[in-house]
Amino acid sequence: MASADSPRKLNLAVLISGGGSNLQSILDACKEKGYPAQVRVVISNTSDAYGLIRAQEAGVPAITISHKDFDSRTEFENALNNELADYDIDLICLAGFMRILTPDFITKWSRKIINTHPSLLPKFGGEGMYGMRVHQAVLEAGETESGSTIHYVIPEVDKGEIILQKRVNIHSHDTPETLAKRVLASEHIAYPEAIKQIALKIGF
């Protein structure tokens, strides 16, 4: 409970589908003294996501809601909403969450869902632009820099307002894999920073 010694923090839900290295960067930031947010719950749509173990190790409830158990996106999202309702969530952080959310869900959580994308949006975003495809496209386009973008989620994929970006240089010998590694490291800095920025902006 909040008191003078423990001010109320921004309550986060982190949604994942995989390794959860971005989740880890958020969990680590939350351990820092004075960081204005805390992870209340981690939800994965796949039961074997390593991020679930990261959550357990941090003492955070780790829940699987498999989209395969539901007949429609709406039913899956109703289950998500039921779970989120238990944790007084202020902000949903998508961190490698590989499901497209419906406009209904996004509207319900308007300005309360953020995402990380591994390029300098608006470049190399949109439906189908994920994972190694992004880095492949960046290299094929002959870009000299790439990076990460933390943005609000709106129904149009990767089109929401940008909160912050981190740039990385592209090296002449880069492959999609080497570039991916550098961009991921930049996301690990960007995501906790963006959450802090939002928390401070709304007065936490």
Binding site for ligand GRF (CB under 6 A): 16, 18-23, 95-96, 116-118, 130, 184, 187
Active site residue 117: yes
What tokens were used for 32? 């820092």
Give the DSSP per-residue string, 55-114: HHHTT--EEE--GGGSSSHHHHHHHHHHHHTTTT-SEEEESS--SPPPHHHHHHTTT-EE
- The answer to whether 198 touches 91, Cβ cutoff 8 Å, is yes
Which residue's Cβ has the minimum distance to ligand GRF?
Answer: 96
Q: Cβ atoms within 10 A of the Cβ of 197, count?
A: 13
Q: Min. distance of Cβ 8 from ligand GRF in angstroms?
A: 27
CA atoms lying within 13 Å on the CB side of residue 161: 7
Q: Min. distance of Cβ 148 from ligand GRF in angstroms?
A: 7
Q: Min. distance of Cβ 50 from ligand GRF in angstroms?
A: 8
Number of H helices, E strands in the chain: 6, 7
For ligand GRF, the closer of residues 15 and 198 by Cβ is 15
The SS3 call for residue 54 is: helix
**For 1-49, where are the alpha helices, taking DSSP H only?**
21-31
In this structure, is the dihedral angle defined by the CA atoms of residues 44, 45, 49 and 53, taken in order, positive or negative? positive
Q: Min. distance of Cβ 11 from ligand GRF in angstroms?
A: 20
Catalytic residue among 67, 117, 171, 173: 117
Catalytic residues: 117
